Chain A
Amino acid sequence: MAVITPLLKGLAFTLKRFFSKPITYQYPEQKREPSERWRGLHRLKTENGQLKCVACGLCEAVCPAKVITVEAKETPDGRRFPNRFVVEVTRCIFCGYCQEACPKDAIELTRNYEFCGYTREEFHMTRDVLARN
């Protein structure tokens, strides 16, 4: 008897919860909104159709996982832009240091937390892919 009473007590609590609203999300039909500060997939921001990035290489220097590669180039009118900008997303640890280090507010971690692909190469995201993210 001493063992059965707590069992019934627990069962009563479970039954009570049976009628309350579920706390779970029916993913993927019902999606969870991540916070405003969520650190998800990277994006290179654009301004008037041009990348804000000036390829200074600060994000490359600060990145703890060393997943960012930047190669600078200059336009004929002397504006610097990233000729090559690769983020190896599979190795990224999503610490957000690149976003913090950027003086031009050109790279950001978006709220996109669901990204997938079939090959490794798809995650070596290049400049144009990152701008579209």
Chain B
Amino acid sequence: MIPRPDPTLETLVLNMGPQHPSTHGVLRVVLKLDGEYVLEAHPVIGYGHRMHEKMGEVRNVSGFYANVGRMDYAGALSFGHGHVLAVERMLGIEVPPRAEYIRVITTELNRIASHLLWFGAFLLDLGAFTPILYSFDDREYILDLLEHVTGARLTFSYFRVGGVNRDLDERFIQGTRVFIRRMRSRFEVYHKLVTGNVIFRKRVEGVGVISPDMIRKYGATGPVARGSGIPYDIRRVEPYSVYSEFDFDIPTFPEGDCFARYRVRLAEMEQSLRIVEQALDRLPDGPVMVEKVPKKLKLGPGEVYQAVEAARGELGYYLVGDGTDVPYRLKIRPPSYSNLSLLNELAEGVLLADLVAIMGSLDLVIPEIDR
């Protein structure tokens, strides 16, 4: 129940959002406060609801594909990856290896870009203004690379059922290699500037501790789960695409506090760089698109669930087809939705200022929650 203001009580009901800068979008959290302490925190979602699931039921596959990048603007390619994989699994389309490698390279670069955005925004929430300028500098390199191959900076619309839209070129490959070298040296700067900073450590260490039980109870995934010591990563537990061919670690930290989640994401960026490097080394030649993709994709009858590891956790597409080219049902399981749902239990008894740190460490993307 969302609390209502009651003048007879000592508690204060406060609206945080929907325009609060640290909710990163149109998320409203109704707080019940006792002084500076939070008693209850009720997220109110739906301000960014755009009927994406319904649109999935009235449009054909390619028409809906333009939507998926708009759900998670920070990591659009993962959302596209899940969607095309689900459709391909339903239709039994075998994608050329080069196309899958390209998908992995671009998705992992996009994951780094998403984590860099989070890195800057999280520290901005904590009152550190400067790091966002450095992380956006690095993110700009990735966006330039992705713009070079996809033609857009955030709404890529790059993958297609059966492959990818256009091939990589030499400039992208060389540029990515330069970027990998540059980014590796940048992590040292980040660690020196932020990770070792006492002020930052005091704000995040021991704050917002999520127990592994709570992770399981709410179905939280991604860096939030791995920050509580649960090594759950779809790329490892249910390998899709060509991820099983790469050598990479799943960084986990058992503490469960905001600092653990911070370290998971920083370590994950380094692992993503490793994946990109290996994929570039082994990039096979060949076509980037299946020869024959039917003009009208007849879905089903049948159903398929395809999960991928998006930047924020497990992203699932549940696709039900009834034999026409428009899906009967397209259910999307966004990671942030489950990650947000543990906020109420987590927020009990924390300071209001710490709640901002907790929400920042969950890395919420609101359009993806509201869909």
Listed in ascending order, the chain A residues whose CB lies under 8 Å from chain B are 2-3, 5-7, 9-10, 13-14, 23, 34-39, 62, 64-65, 93-97, 100, 109
Supply 16 further A-B pairs (C-beta < 8 A) apart from A6-B200, A37-B149, A64-B67. A9-B192, A9-B197, A13-B189, A37-B148, A38-B147, A38-B151, A38-B152, A39-B151, A64-B66, A93-B155, A94-B152, A95-B66, A95-B157, A96-B157, A97-B66, A100-B165
In the assembled complex, how far is the CB of residue B123 from the closest CB belonging to chain A, in whole angstroms? Answer: 11
Specify which chain A residues have a CB less than 8 angstroms from the CB of B155 in the assembled complex: 93-95
Binary interface encoding of chain B residues 46-73 relative to chain A, with 1 for a CB under 8 A from any of its CBs, else 0: 0000000000000100111011000000
Instruction: Report how many A-B pairs have Cβ atoms within 8 Å.
Output: 63
In the assembled complex, how far is the CB of residue B345 from the closest CB belonging to chain A, in whole angstroms? Answer: 32
In the assembled complex, how far is the CB of residue A14 from the closest CB belonging to chain B, in whole angstroms? Answer: 6
Specify which chain A residues have a CB less than 8 angstroms from the CB of B66 in the assembled complex: 64-65, 93, 95, 97
In the assembled complex, how far is the CB of residue B76 from the closest CB belonging to chain A, in whole angstroms? Answer: 12
A13 touching B193, Cβ below 8 Å: yes
24 contacts between A and B (CB under 8 A): A2-B198, A3-B199, A9-B197, A10-B193, A10-B197, A13-B189, A13-B192, A13-B193, A34-B147, A35-B144, A35-B151, A37-B148, A37-B149, A38-B147, A64-B63, A64-B64, A64-B67, A93-B155, A94-B152, A94-B155, A96-B151, A96-B165, A97-B62, A97-B66
A62 contact from B62, B64, B148, B197, Cβ within 8 A: B62
Q: How far is the CA of A37 from the CA of B158 in the complex (A)?
A: 11
Q: How far is the CA of A5 from the CA of B192 in the complex (A)?
A: 12
Q: How far is the CA of A44 from the CA of B130 in the complex (A)?
A: 45
A-B interface, 6 closest residue pairs, ranked by CB to CB distance from nearest: A37-B151, A64-B63, A95-B66, A6-B197, A64-B66, A95-B157
Which A residue's beta carbon lies closest to that of B130? A14
Specify which chain B residues have a CB less than 8 angstroms from the CB of A100 in the assembled complex: 165
Q: How far is the CA of A95 from the CA of B200 in the complex (A)?
A: 41
Of the candidates B152, B197, B199, the one having the most CB atoms from chain A within 10 angstroms of its own CB is: B152
B331 contacts partner chain A, Cβ-Cβ < 8 Å: no
Which B residue's beta carbon lies closest to that of A7? B199
Specify which chain B residues have a CB less than 8 angstroms from the CB of A37 in the assembled complex: 147-151, 166
Specify which chain B residues have a CB less than 8 angstroms from the CB of A94 in the assembled complex: 152, 155
Which A residue's beta carbon lies closest to that of B59? A64
Specify which chain B residues have a CB less than 8 angstroms from the CB of A9 in the assembled complex: 192-193, 197
Q: How far is the CA of A52 from the CA of B165 in the complex (A)?
A: 23
Q: How far is the CA of A113 from the CA of B144 in the complex (A)?
A: 15
With A64-B67, A95-B66 already in contact, the answer to whether A3 and B198 are too (CB < 8 A) is: yes
B199 touching A6, Cβ below 8 Å: yes
B140 contacts partner chain A, Cβ-Cβ < 8 Å: yes
Q: How far is the CA of A109 from the CA of B139 in the complex (A)?
A: 25
